[in-house]
Amino acid sequence: MRRILLGFVLFLLPLAAANVKLYTTDGDYQIVREYQVNGDRVRYYSADRNEWEEIPVALVDLKKTEKEAAAREADLDRRAREFDAEEQAARAERAELEKIPFTVVYGDRESEHSLAIRERGGGQSEASLAEFAARLATLVS
pLDDT of res. 79: 94
Polymer length of the chain:
141
| Residue 31 bridge partners (DSSP) | 21
pLDDT of res. 81: 95
pLDDT of res. 89: 95
Helices (H), 19-119: 62-98
Residue 114: CA count within 13 A, CB half-sphere: 7
pLDDT of res. 38: 92
pLDDT of res. 102: 81
Q: pTM of this prediction?
A: 0.55
Q: Of 91, 84, 116, whose CA–CA distance to 103 is shortest? A: 116
- Given a cut of 50, the residues of the chain with pLDDT beneath it are 17
pLDDT of res. 114: 82
pLDDT of res. 116: 83
Q: Under DSSP, is residue 79 helix (H, G, I), strand (E, B) or coil?
A: helix
